């Protein structure tokens, strides 16, 4: 279509080209190149962590985090049902049990009290997943977890630059993870990172990233790892993006506020919460939920908007409704009404860093017009 506004376009306006040329000119294109270590150090420092282990994507980062914590058969891991499947895959593959909780109808994040209520003697970890623009309100989760010896995994894939009560997202987990996929606030197309302050966990993450080679005897293996290495070419783009990250976050917030202004008086929409007492929305995506009296669901609305040249994406589909997990014998009879509702009525508008103000205005105006015509 001539004037289609895609749901995401990245912004590559820093030193990406210069650093990429450096890779080519020096011949360093593999994961052994110097940008990888530099990026690990600079990014982990940015989120107040001692160690960063770069991996090939955000899903890989979660796999490595779950493996490094030794999660396995008999263990339970508490996590929100309203999240991407990446969060649950390694839990299930390792033979542990994902225990899912519902989310808050306004922020779409897991609630601290629900996570705490789901704790049993078998709970090995709680996975915090910050959704769309606001962090999980941690409340007493961290204290309770510490008292009970429960590990915290923090999936901060969507939260580069966000804070909870002034502390960076990505600094709360025993292990925290990031994604650098093309729609994230810092991207190299594909990429991820695990961050931690624990040197033993950091070593385990490095080992799982790189096939669990034994340090003393290469090609001898005592555990099963993955090749989840990030390349120097990717890390080069990552370094350039990191230099621009604060600008990216400022722009994300500008776009979010512009959408808010344009849509606040449009009936039928539940818009993102601009701020809470623990965080200001970062608007990783500009997400919304259709009120019950709007006569179409998100899927139909997204089709109508696509017909008008506006790219959108649906909300996550709840983990407890995923066919693959039901077929696995998980989550039978689970009913988590908030996630079930928002997954059917929620979607997001074009939100990428490459959007112009005019793109935002056209997207909002088109949505307003489509809604008025229903
Ligand atoms: C993007 C995302 C991931 C997965 O990252 P990939 O790099 O796409 O594998 C995991 N968790 C959340 C919350 C995400 O938004």
Containing 123, the helix (H) or strand (E) segment is: strand 123-129
Residues 200, 202, 203, 204, CA torsion sign: positive
Is 245-372 the same fold as 16-243? Answer: no
Enter the pTM of the model: 0.97
Q: How far apart are CA 353 and CA 359, in angstroms?
A: 11
Q: Name 5's bridge partners.
A: 310
Q: How far does residue 85's CA lie from ligand 1's centre (Å)? A: 9
What number of residues does the chain have? 374
Q: Where are the domains of the chain?
A: 16-243, 245-372
Average pLDDT of span 66-95: 98
pLDDT of residue 3: 84
Which atom of ligand 1 approaches the CA of 192 most closely? 7
8 Å CB contact between 268 and 292: no
What class, spelled out in words, does domain 245-372 have in CATH?
A: alpha beta
Cβ atoms of residues 8 and 350 within 8 Å: yes
Q: Sorting pLDDT into bands at 50, 70 and 90, what band is 1?
A: low
Q: Is 3.30.70.1400 the CATH classification of the domain at 16-243?
A: no
Q: Write out residues with Cβ below 6 Å of ligand 1.
A: 57-59, 83-84, 86, 129, 155, 157-158, 179, 181, 192
The 8-class DSSP code of residue 130 comes to -
Per-position b or e across 39-77, b if 16+ CB within 10 A of its CB: bbeebbebbebebbbbbbbbbbbbbbbbbbbebeeebbb
Q: Report helix, strand or coil for 250.
A: helix
**How far apart, in whole angstroms, are the C-alpha atoms of residue 51 and residue 203?**
9
> What values do phi and psi take at 239, rounded to 5?
-60, -45
How far apart are the CA of 126 and the centre of ligand 1, in A?
A: 17
Query: Which residue is listed with tokens 């989840």?
Result: 228
Cα–Cα nearest to 165, from 292, 56, 276: 276
Question: How does pLDDT run across 159-192, given as a tens digit for each residue?
Answer: 999 999 999 999 999 999 999 999 999 999 999 9
Instruction: Pick the residue whose CA is nearest to atom 5 on ligand 1.
Output: 58
Kindly state the average pLDDT of the residues 270-297.
98
Question: 137-157: per-residue pLDDT in tens?
Answer: 998 999 999 999 999 999 999
Distance 59 CA to ligand 1 centre (A): 6
pLDDT band at 38; cut points 50, 70, 90: very high
| Atom 14 in ligand 1: residue holding the nearest Cα | 157
CA of 300 to the centre of ligand 1 (A): 25
Nearest CA to ligand 1 atom 6: 58
Nearest residue (by CA) to ligand 1, atom 3, is 58
Atom of ligand 1 nearest to the CA of 158: 15
Pick from 74, 188, 83, 55: which is nearest to 121 by CA? 74
How far is the centre of ligand 1, averaged over its atoms, from the C-alpha of 220 (Å)?
32
Tokens found for residue 78: 């508490």
């Amino acid at each position: 279509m001539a004037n289609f506004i895609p749901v995401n376009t990245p912004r590559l306006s820093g030193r990406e080209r210069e650093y990429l040329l450096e890779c080519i000119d020096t011949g360093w294109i593999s994961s052994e190149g110097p940008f990888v270590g530099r990026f690990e150090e600079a990014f982990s420092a940015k989120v107040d962590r001692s160690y960063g282990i770069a991996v090939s994507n955000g899903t890989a980062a979660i796999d490595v985090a779950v493996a490094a914590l030794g999660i396995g058969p008999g263990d339970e891991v508490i996590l929100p049902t309203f999240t991407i499947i990446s969060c649950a895959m390694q839990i299930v593959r390792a033979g542990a049990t994902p225990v899912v909780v519902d989310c808050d109808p306004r922020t779409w994040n897991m609630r601290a009290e629900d996570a705490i209520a789901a704790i049993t003697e078998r709970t090995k970890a709680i996975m915090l997943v910050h959704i769309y623009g606001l962090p999980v309100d941690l409340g007493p989760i961290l204290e309770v977890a510490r008292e009970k010896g429960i590990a915290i995994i923090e999936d901060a894939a969507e939260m580069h630059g966000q804070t909870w009560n002034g502390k960076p997202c990505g600094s709360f987990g025993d292990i925290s993870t990031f994604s650098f996929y093309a729609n994230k606030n810092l991207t190299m197309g594909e990429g991820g990172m695990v961050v931690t302050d624990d040197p033993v966990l950091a070593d385990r993450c490095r080992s799982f990233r790189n096939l669990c080679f034994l340090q003393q005897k290469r090609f001898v293996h005592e555990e099963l790892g993955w090749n989840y290495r990030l390349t120097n070419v990717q890390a080069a783009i990552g370094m350039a993006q990191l230099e621009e990250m604060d600008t990216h976050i400022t722009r994300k917030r500008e776009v979010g506020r512009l959408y808010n202004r344009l849509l606040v008086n449009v009936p039928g929409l539940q818009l993102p919460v601009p701020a809470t007492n623990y965080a200001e929305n970062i608007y990783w995506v500009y997400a919304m939920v259709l009120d019950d009296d709007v006569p179409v669901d998100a899927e139909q609305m997204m089709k109508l908007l696509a017909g008008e040249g506006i790219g959108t994406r649906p909300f996550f589909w709840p983990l407890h409704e995923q066919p693959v997990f039901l077929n696995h014998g998980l989550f039978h009879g689970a009913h988590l009404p908030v996630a079930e509702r928002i997954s059917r009525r929620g979607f997001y508008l074009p939100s990428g860093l490459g959007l112009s103000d005019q793109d935002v205005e056209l997207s909002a105006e088109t949505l307003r017009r489509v809604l008025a015509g229903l």
